[in-house]
């Protein structure tokens, strides 16, 4: 894989070079010292992956991500110092299509391998996406028992997801009657910050989902660890390491399929912008169970990967622009009938 580095710090570039050298599958294609140069290099020599810093002269990483994804899209991972302090910019970059974010590895030889681990894992995941290798999907169990009248909106999102979630959730009214659970592809280090960021933009309360709690009406819960979030037979939630070989953690498919297996009321599935195929088969399982399923359309998706995959296999009953999804959810939840027994 050819990798582009965007960073104005010589020390950070040296640390990234050392980290990349640990895996022969990666080759540095070019190094840009600011966002403007990165846009130019991405256009003339589009790499398989870009490692994007946030704070740079001339053009910052958020704007560079936006321009690259608009003109010559390719996978982008934000790599910067102190992600916690720069959480807002991280979510802005992800809103424009960056796939993930990770701290810059250290340069010191003693712990270089240790600190390079998270970065290399994310780079290998991108490599699997580029190669088109899909992870196996779990078998969806048959639902038994009489469903209750409770309502659940299950949302999945990846690249471009934070901004899409802010738009969708921000348009839901304070008296929205359904429970909402969202699985966003984001490292657990950023999940609390993302929940807090979304909470400040929404009428509904937004927080990280806790082990053992059930979805609550009028509350948005966000998957909060690098393990998969799933519903159990009690309709309470738990985090699980299995399946261990899934490309994305947390997996949207795992959660959607657990909704089909265990939720005893009406459910709606929503698949937003993102790279890859995660969520497509889970959304199809929800549709097969009689749920309303919605995929974001191409025009409003920062990265038209996951919704495209869902549309291709007939997983979505409706394909809507982002701005139309919240009104459709309000309409659907106000008119939901009890699920058939």
- Which residues are bridge partners to 271 per DSSP? 156, 295
Separation of alpha carbons 8 and 52, rounded Å: 10
Render each residue's pLDDT in the chain as its tens digit; 341 residues.
999 999 999 999 999 999 999 899 999 999 999 999 999 999 999 999 999 999 888 899 999 999 998 889 888 999 988 766 777 788 888 878 888 888 888 776 555 566 788 888 888 877 776 665 443 333 333 333 333 337 999 999 998 898 899 999 999 999 998 999 999 988 787 788 888 889 888 999 999 999 988 999 999 999 998 899 999 987 889 999 988 888 788 999 999 999 999 998 899 999 999 988 999 999 999 999 999 999 999 999 988 999 999 999 999 999 999 999 999 999 999 865 444 43
pLDDT at res. 139: 30
pLDDT at res. 105: 85
pLDDT at res. 112: 56
Domain with CATH 3.40.50.180 in the chain: 151-334
Measured from the Cβ of residue 12, the count of other Cβ atoms closer than 10 Å reads 20
Q: 158 with 280: CB under 8 angstroms? A: no
| CATH 3.40.50.720 is held by the domain 151-334 | no
Q: Which of 181, 136, 148 is closest to 277 using CA atoms?
A: 136
Structure tokens at 253: 């498919």
Report whether the peptide linkage leading into residue 315 is cis, meaning its omega lies within 30 degrees of zero.
Answer: no
CA 64 to chain centre: 20
Domain with CATH 3.40.50.2300 in the chain: 2-131
pLDDT at res. 101: 84
Q: 181 with 217: CB under 8 angstroms? A: no
Point out the residues that are catalytic.
Answer: 158, 185, 278
Structure tokens at 5: 């580095």
Q: What are the residue ranges of helices labelled H in 154-312?
A: 161-170, 191-199, 252-262, 280-288, 306-312
pLDDT at res. 28: 96
Correct CATH for 2-131 of 3.30.1360.10, 3.30.1600.10, 2.30.130.10, 3.40.50.2300: 3.40.50.2300
């Amino acid at each position: 894989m050819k990798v582009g580095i965007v960073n104005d710090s010589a020390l950070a570039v040296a640390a990234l070079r050392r980290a990349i050298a640990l895996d022969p599958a990666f080759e540095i294609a070019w190094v840009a010292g600011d966002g403007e140069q990165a846009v130019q290099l991405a256009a003339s020599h589009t790499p398989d992956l870009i490692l994007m810093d946030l704070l740079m002269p001339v053009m910052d990483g958020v704007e560079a991500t936006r321009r690259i994804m608009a003109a010559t899209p390719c996978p982008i991972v934000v790599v910067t110092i102190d992600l916690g302090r720069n959480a807002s910019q991280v979510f802005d970059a992800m809103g424009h299509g960056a796939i993930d974010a990770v701290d810059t590895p250290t340069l010191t030889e003693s712990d270089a391998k240790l600190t390079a681990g998270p970065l290399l894992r994310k780079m290998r995941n991108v490599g699997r996406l580029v190669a088109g290798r899909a992870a196996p999907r779990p078998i969806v169990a048959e639902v038994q028992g009489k469903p209750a009248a409770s309502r659940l909106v299950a949302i999945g999102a990846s690249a471009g997801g934070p901004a899409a979630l802010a738009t969708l959730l921000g348009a839901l009214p304070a008296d929205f009657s359904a429970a909402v659970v969202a699985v966003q592809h984001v490292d657990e280090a950023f999940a609390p910050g993302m929940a807090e960021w979304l909470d400040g933009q929404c009428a509904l309360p937004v927080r990280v989902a806790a082990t053992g709690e059930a979805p609550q009406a009028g509350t948005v819960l966000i998957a909060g660890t690098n393990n998969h979030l799933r519903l159990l037979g009690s309709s309470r939630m738990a985090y699980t390491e299995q399946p261990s070989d899934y490309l994305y953690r947390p997996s949207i498919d795992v959660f959607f399929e657990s909704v089909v297996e265990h939720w005893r009321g009406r459910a709606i599935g929503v698949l937003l912008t993102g790279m890859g195929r995660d969520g497509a088969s889970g959304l199809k399982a929800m549709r097969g169970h009689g749920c309303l399923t919605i995929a974001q359309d191409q025009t409003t998706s920062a990265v038209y990967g996951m919704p495209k995959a869902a549309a291709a296999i007939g997983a979505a009953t409706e394909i809507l622009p982002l701005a139309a999804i919240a009104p459709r959810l309000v309409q659907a939840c106000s008119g939901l009938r009890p699920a058939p027994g």
